[in-house]
């Protein structure tokens, strides 16, 4: 991983892009990490991992007895009907 300051990144944007294709590039502003440049492929990989994580959590929740989408909709419709009739 490479770390550069914001001024360098601005003046050498093409170089930072070329580096980011190979490995993440941390860009610091005022001496503190501010953003990270990554390749599009790495971005896609991270999104796929996140999607897989959320799918796993949803499946675990469903297995743990949480309401299905239909059950949730039915519950909310009944609740809304009871509130509006009060």
pTM above 0.75, yes or no: no
Say yes or no to pLDDT of 76 above 70.
yes
Which residues does 46 contact at the CB level (< 8 Å), separation at least 6?
38
State mean pLDDT over 23-42: 98
Other C-beta atoms lying within 10 Å of the C-beta of residue 49? 10
**Residues present in the chain in total:** 86
- Tell me what pLDDT residue 86 has: 65
Look at 59 and 45; give whichever has higher pLDDT. 45
Q: Are 75 and 67 in contact (CB under 8 A)?
A: yes
Alpha-carbon distance of 63 to 74, in angstroms, equals: 19
Other C-beta atoms lying within 10 Å of the C-beta of residue 29? 12
- Tell me what pLDDT residue 62 has: 77
Say yes or no to pLDDT of 61 above 90.
no
């Amino acid at each position: 991983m490479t770390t550069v300051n914001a001024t360098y990144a601005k003046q050498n944007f093409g170089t930072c892009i070329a580096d980011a294709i190979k490995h993440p590039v941390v860009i610091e502003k005022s001496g503190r990490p501010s953003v990270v440049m990554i390749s599009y492929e790495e971005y896609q990989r991270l999104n796929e991992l996140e999607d897989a994580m959320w799918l796993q959590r949803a499946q675990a929740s469903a297995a743990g007895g949480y309401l299905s989408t239909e059950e949730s909709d039915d519950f909310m419709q009944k609740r809304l009907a009871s509130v509006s009739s009060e």
